[in-house]
Amino acid sequence: NNAGITKDRTLAKMTQEEWQKVIDVNLTGVFNCTKAALPLIIQNQGKIINISSLVGLRGNFGQTNYAATKAGIIGFTKSLSKELGRFGVNVNAIAPGFIDTPLTANLPEEFKITVKKLTSLGRFGTPDDIANVTVFLASEESSFITGAVINVDGGLMI
């Protein structure tokens, strides 16, 4: 499950519509897709990999709606892993840090420089960094990992 939009504003300036749109895409979308595929996932002892965000772990100014959805995905992942473990289904989440994508392309340059200074590896991640962890979680090598949230953040959270 990988969907994410932002409608960044402080809560004081955020409209109900901006709040709801982010909730609908980022969190309700995870529910809808997982629910629809659940019978096949259980039947095949599949794996569910949800994409969250570091913002779901630490918050971010002007992103109450986005943070709520990404924190919700973490709670969803942990709870669902408890429900589906008895069927041999693994449920995990990836919490990317700042990744070089269209979602981060329009961030102010000064902010990007600050984030890179705070990141142990001194750079933004790439989509391949996320893909590599996703491939691992989808493989048999991760068969004893469930309910986990894996930060892919270049050391930003340490």
Give the residue numbers marked as catalytic: 66
| Alpha-carbon span 42 to 54, nearest angstrom | 29
pLDDT digits (tens, 9 = 90+) for 24-35: 999 999 999 999
pLDDT digits (tens, 9 = 90+) for 117-141: 999 999 999 999 999 999 999 999 9
Q: Is residue 92 in some structural domain?
A: yes
In contact, 4 and 25? CB cutoff 8 Å: yes
Mean pLDDT of 89-95: 99
In contact, 7 and 18? CB cutoff 8 Å: yes
Q: Per the confidence metrics, is the pTM higher than 0.75?
A: yes
CATH code of residue 147: 3.40.50.720
In contact, 26 and 5? CB cutoff 8 Å: yes
Of 61, 67, 73, 60, the residue nearest 27 (C-alpha)? 73
Segment (H or E) for 93: strand 90-96
Domain count, the chain: 1
- Tokens 């569910």, residue located: 48
Q: Is residue 72 in some structural domain?
A: yes
Q: Is residue 1 in some structural domain?
A: no
| Alpha-carbon span 29 to 27, nearest angstrom | 5
| Alpha-carbon span 157 to 153, nearest angstrom | 7
Mean pLDDT of 13-31: 98
